[in-house]
Amino acid sequence: MSFLEPRDIVAFPGGDNSSDTVFGDVHLNKTTLDHWNYTLYSNGTLSNGTVWCALAFAPYQPAAVLDNGTFVNVTWCWAPVKHIEARAGIGVGFAVIFGVALVCNVLSLAKHGKLYLPGEKRFYPIGRRWQWYWGSFTCACAMIALITGVDVDRYYMPELPLVLTSFFWYLMQVGTIALVWEAVRHWGSWMERQFIDPDPFLLRQDDRRSKVEFYLPLLAYLWMWLAFFLIIPRNWENIQFQRFPEQTESVARPSATDGRFKAAPFCQLVAWLLSVYSLWHSIKHYRARDRSIAHRAIHFFSYAPWRFLLILPLALAVIVFQELVAWNFDWSPMKVKGSNVAIYVGGYVPSLLIVVIQSVFGYFNPNEDKELLRQRRVRERNLNQEMGIVNKPGWWNRLNREGLPGESMRDIIARNVREVGGRKPTTQNPEQAVLDRNPDVEAAPANSVEMGPIPEQSLPSPVSAGNLSGARSDARREERTMEPVSGVLFPGQNEGPDAAARRHAELMMDGPIPAQPPPPYEERGRQVLPLGDARSTSEQRSVSVNTETTLTNQPQQQVRSMLDI
């Protein structure tokens, strides 16, 4: 409905008689309009105090009105009947630029989000991708806000397009602050990864540094979510009531400048301060080691990447402008006739520059895994130089490896496997191989568990008698060749009784002299007296001495065989 005051109500234009009124060239029944309480307003709209509203000026006037109050061929008040103005034209240009930035951001995500090293629990792959996720979110919200802003100019009365462009503009602001935070946070994580890559145990995991890095993201997102809940969940319908100046001042302005819009930028400011502190924390622990405050301040600007020296002030500009529009409604994107310079320069340019700087960084900087591999190669080369190790060039292996020309290592391994059989032992028919080598061995019985009968389909095809006899002759010849060798290694294994007797006689011989039987065993040694014998100790000693003399005077025994030992 029009929400116009009584002074904005105008009388119906006169017609042919008292019950006739003319809108353009169309005559309508004035009696029917009065019956259904239709009122004509100064802005050219026709309404009966409900949400129903129609245009009453040429060429959009109704063609007729029925007795039940229904209009024929009517044009609603919320229709895009106007031409594109400056705000819509500038918005289309910004939407194109944000679209190009979105494509570049997605390419950077594909480049820097790709993994070339195994994932680590300490550094999750999604951590490096969050800044590109938030960049894509920011570009998408900006494009929606700018494209829907075209209908803000074209709609005769403000309605849904104004609400959409304001809603997504604030989402773009939240995404911009989150983008800056993730970029700074991940840079610190990347510095830590490079710092501990040579020595994973260089930094502790329970010190103050690790606790600060654990709680900082929680605090930052807490304040960003507070800003989100202060802005987004609200009644946005009052923003569209800007159909005449009095309505704008009484309804739209108080709604666009309430306390929640004024408090949200302070929450985002806390998140921005946490981003600055995160950058200082990373520089302190992974770059500079100075203790004085002056040197730390100097090194903060000397060690901080240029990217952050640019996007952090731009993020602060985003927060400041958001606070300004919460106090000055004339600069706000929520106003239909707001200042275009303030809306685009303060509302869209900082976010666009942040996304562009991020895209440029993503284009020129290498993938982190590739950079880490390069650093490892450099460290390995330096260590080899210190130790005097010279690596052979790449052509050395190609010229000195075994194999055919153009043969890869996989081909060499496959050829070696083919040379040794290349089949499983269970597929080589071990029973048939045993029978071929020894024809006298019988096959295993059918009820055997370990060597049961092999199915007929797995047996080899039958061979001719000539081939079978030839195979057996070869096996027999091989056995005869191995018999002398086995006789030397294991004597007496294949000998009969005569050969055993002959071998025993040979062992008993000592050269040409015939073997002599060993002398009979005699009890030699100390004489043992029976129990109760009264011989003196001196007599026992004399017996012991005589025994030792006898053993000494005997001729030495000559060992002729192993049986004498």
How would you write 234-256 as a 3-class SS string?
CCCHHHHCCCCHHHHHHHHHHHH
- Exposure class string for 42-81: b at 16+ Cβ within 10 A, else e: ebbbbbeeeeebbbbeeebbbeebeeeeebeebbebbbee
**Do 312 and 234 fall into the same domain?**
yes
**Do 144 and 243 fall into the same domain?**
yes
From 316, 349, 379, give the residue that closes a domain. Answer: 379
**Do 231 and 176 fall into the same domain?**
yes
Query: For 302-315, how does the pLDDT look when each residue is reduced to its tens digit (9 = 90+)?
Result: 888 999 999 999 99
From 379, 394, 424, give the residue that closes a domain. Answer: 379
Quote the pLDDT of residue 422: 54
Check if the beta carbon of residue 80 is closer than 8 Å to that of residue 160. Answer: no
**Do 272 and 327 fall into the same domain?**
yes
CA distances from 331 to 230, 342, 351 (A): 20, 6, 17
Quote the pLDDT of residue 80: 87
Residue 318 is assigned to a structural domain of this protein: yes
Quote the pLDDT of residue 121: 81
Task: Give the span between the Cα atoms of 279 and 302, in whole angstroms.
Answer: 12
User: Domain containing 25: what range?
Assistant: 6-72
Check if the beta carbon of residue 460 is closer than 8 Å to that of residue 432. Answer: yes
Please state the pTM of the whole predicted model. 0.67
DSSP letter (8 states) at residue 395: H
**Do 219 and 148 fall into the same domain?**
yes
Tokens encoding 345: 């320069």
Residue 269 is assigned to a structural domain of this protein: yes
**Do 335 and 286 fall into the same domain?**
yes
Residue 37 is assigned to a structural domain of this protein: yes
From 345, 379, 413, give the residue that closes a domain. Answer: 379
Rounded to 10°, the helix 208-231/160-196 angle is 180
**Do 358 and 285 fall into the same domain?**
yes
State the CATH number of the domain containing residue 364.
1.20.1070
Give yes or no for residue 182 having a pLDDT over 70.
Answer: yes
Check if the beta carbon of residue 80 is closer than 8 Å to that of residue 162. Answer: no
Average pLDDT, the chain: 79
Quote the pLDDT of residue 390: 80
The segment with the largest mean pLDDT, out of 202-206, 450-454, 554-558, is 202-206
Residue 28 is assigned to a structural domain of this protein: yes
Residue 535 is assigned to a structural domain of this protein: no
Task: Give the span between the Cα atoms of 98 and 104, in whole angstroms.
Answer: 10
**Do 62 and 92 fall into the same domain?**
no
Residue 474 is assigned to a structural domain of this protein: no
Tokens encoding 497: 């009784």
Tokens encoding 443: 């096959």
**Do 189 and 65 fall into the same domain?**
no
Q: Assign 3-state DSSP to the chain and report helix, strand, coil percentages, each to 5.
A: 60, 5, 35
**Do 277 and 310 fall into the same domain?**
yes
- What is the pLDDT averaged over residues 393-397? 70
Residue 409 is assigned to a structural domain of this protein: no
Check if the beta carbon of residue 136 is closer than 8 Å to that of residue 106. Answer: yes
Quote the pLDDT of residue 436: 58
CA distances from 519 to 523, 549, 559 (A): 12, 19, 12
CA distances from 16 to 36, 117, 148 (A): 21, 87, 44
Cis peptide before 59 (omega within 30 of 0): yes
Number of domains composing the chain: 2
Residue 143 is assigned to a structural domain of this protein: yes
Per cent of the chain over pLDDT 70 is: 70
Q: Which phi and psi angles does 365 have, rounded to 5°? A: -80, 145
